[in-house]
């Protein structure tokens, strides 16, 4: 993928494709989906399209329900994506919405390539020796999701360059938070997304994790990774003010919702092996409600500005 072809005529399946992406987002990304409800209505489908595509690819390489050859299925998705970006009609139900969003916002095709490289890595790489190695994977699996979202969330005029690194950092923060929360689930898939050098540093063996033994050393390891994730959150924070006001409540809410996962992990004594830690529904709704007024006011102001500009 090296250039954006001319946009094809609107496919008849486009509305259904956007709805498919929305349903994927609502089913698998509940915290971020809730936050996207704070966005202006016109932005939401495009965020759903990016999430839906990322989740769709991730399900190919991760889902327990996948019965066929994962590598073949992933390459079929890539082939259809290339065809879709070239204006061809494709069978995959997620791609019409995704390619429509990619073209509409001139999303960097290099970011898509990096994402697909990380999805391919999941087929063969199940351990990472160092955090730098894990960061290489997360750059494609998460950091580029942040940068792909940027054109939709809209940096302020002249701020796109400065907003890129905070967007990357927020993607990394979210991804590492997921890895911390999902240690047990990833073990079921035969994967460990905690750097092996960190396991060694704290005296944790792979067998300790596989046996679901939450020893003091395991708790110390998880606390260490949580602090590392918090550092990514800190680096991301300045980027929120670089977005247009109508996007800020969404990103602030997502920031707090995902950060809340780390707080729940801490409250559970850093025991992530006993089961998935969740932010309680009441707390999620409280965070959403806290930003609802600001989102409504920013949306009204944006609409008034658009009317005046006509």
Q: What single string gives the DSSP state of each residue in 133-197? A: HHHHHHIIIIIHHHHHHHHHH-BPTT-HHHHHHHHHHHHHHHHHHHHHHTHHHHHHTT---S-HH
Tell me how far apart the alpha carbons of residues 262 and 281 are, in angstroms, rounded to a whole number. Answer: 15
Burial tier of 28 (Cβ tally within 10 Å: 0-12, 13-18, 19+): middle
- Closest-CA residue to 215 (of 127, 274, 262, 131): 274
Tokens 């046996």 sit on residue: 211
Burial tier of 207 (Cβ tally within 10 Å: 0-12, 13-18, 19+): exposed
* Residue 13 CA to its chain's centroid (Å): 25
User: Model confidence over 268-289: pLDDT tens digits?
Assistant: 999 999 989 999 999 999 999 9
Mean pLDDT (the chain) is 93
Q: Give pTM, 2 decimals.
A: 0.91
Residue 241 has pLDDT above 70, yes or no: yes
pLDDT band at 305 (very low <50, low <70, confident <90, very high): low
Give residue 140's pLDDT.
Answer: 97
Give residue 5's pLDDT.
Answer: 42
Give residue 131's pLDDT.
Answer: 98
Q: Which CATH superfamily is domain 14-305 in?
A: Farnesyl Diphosphate Synthase (1.10.600.10)
Give residue 297's pLDDT.
Answer: 85
Burial tier of 287 (Cβ tally within 10 Å: 0-12, 13-18, 19+): buried
Average pLDDT of span 20-32: 94
Lowest mean pLDDT among 115-124, 183-192, 298-307: 298-307
Where residue 119 falls (left for φ over 0; alpha for ψ -120 to 50; beta otherwise) is: alpha
Lowest mean pLDDT among 8-22, 93-107, 222-236, 247-261: 8-22
DSSP state of 243: B
User: Model confidence over 69-128: pLDDT tens digits?
Assistant: 999 999 999 999 999 999 999 999 999 999 999 999 999 999 999 999 999 999 999 999
Tell me how far apart the alpha carbons of residues 178 and 197 are, in angstroms, rounded to a whole number. Answer: 19
Give residue 275's pLDDT.
Answer: 87
Please report how many Cα atoms fall inside a 13 Å half-sphere around the Cα of residue 90, on the Cβ side: 24
- Closest-CA residue to 58 (of 175, 226, 146): 175
Please report how many Cα atoms fall inside a 13 Å half-sphere around the Cα of residue 143, on the Cβ side: 20
Tell me how far apart the alpha carbons of residues 62 and 117 are, in angstroms, rounded to a whole number. Answer: 15
With the CA atoms of 63, 129, 131 and 272 taken in that order, what torsion angle do they form, in degrees rounded to the nearest 10? 50
Tell me how far apart the alpha carbons of residues 306 and 202 are, in angstroms, rounded to a whole number. Answer: 56
**Which residues does 104 contact at the CB level (< 8 Å), separation at least 6?**
7, 46
């Amino acid at each position: 993928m090296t250039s954006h072809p001319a946009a094809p005529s609107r496919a008849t399946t486009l509305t259904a494709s956007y709805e498919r992406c929305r349903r994927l987002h609502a089913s698998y990304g509940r915290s971020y989906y809730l936050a996207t409800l704070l966005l202006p209505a016109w932005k939401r489908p495009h965020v759903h399209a990016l999430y839906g595509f990322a989740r769709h690819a991730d399900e190919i390489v991760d889902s327990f329900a996948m019965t066929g050859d994962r590598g073949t299925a992933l390459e079929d998705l890539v082939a259809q994506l290339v065809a879709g970006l070239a204006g061809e009609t494709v069978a995959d139900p997620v791609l019409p919405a995704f390619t429509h969003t990619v073209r509409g916002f001139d999303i960097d095709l290099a970011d898509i390539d990096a994402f697909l490289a990380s999805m391919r890595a999941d087929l063969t790489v199940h351990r990472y020796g160092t955090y730098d190695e894990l960061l290489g994977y997360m750059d494609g699996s998460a950091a580029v999701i942040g940068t792909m979202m940027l054109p939709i969330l809209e940096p302020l005029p002249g701020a796109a360059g400065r907003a890129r690194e905070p967007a990357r950092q927020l993607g990394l923060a979210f991804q590492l938070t997921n890895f911390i929360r999902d240690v047990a689930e990833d073990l079921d898939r035969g994967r460990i997304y905690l750097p092996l050098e960190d396991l060694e540093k704290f005296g944790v063996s792979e067998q300790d994790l596989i046996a679901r033994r939450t020893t003091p050393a395991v708790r110390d390891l998880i606390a260490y990774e949580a602090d590392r994730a918090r550092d990514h959150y800190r680096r991301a924070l300045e980027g929120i003010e670089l977005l247009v006001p109508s996007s800020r409540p969404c990103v602030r809410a997502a920031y707090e919702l995902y950060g809340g996962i780390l707080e729940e992990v801490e409250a559970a004594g850093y025991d992530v092996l006993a089961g998935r830690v969740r932010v309680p529904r009441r707390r999620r709704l409280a965070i959403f409600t806290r930003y609802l007024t600001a989102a409504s006011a920013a949306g009204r102001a944006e609409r008034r500005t658009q009317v005046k500009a006509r």
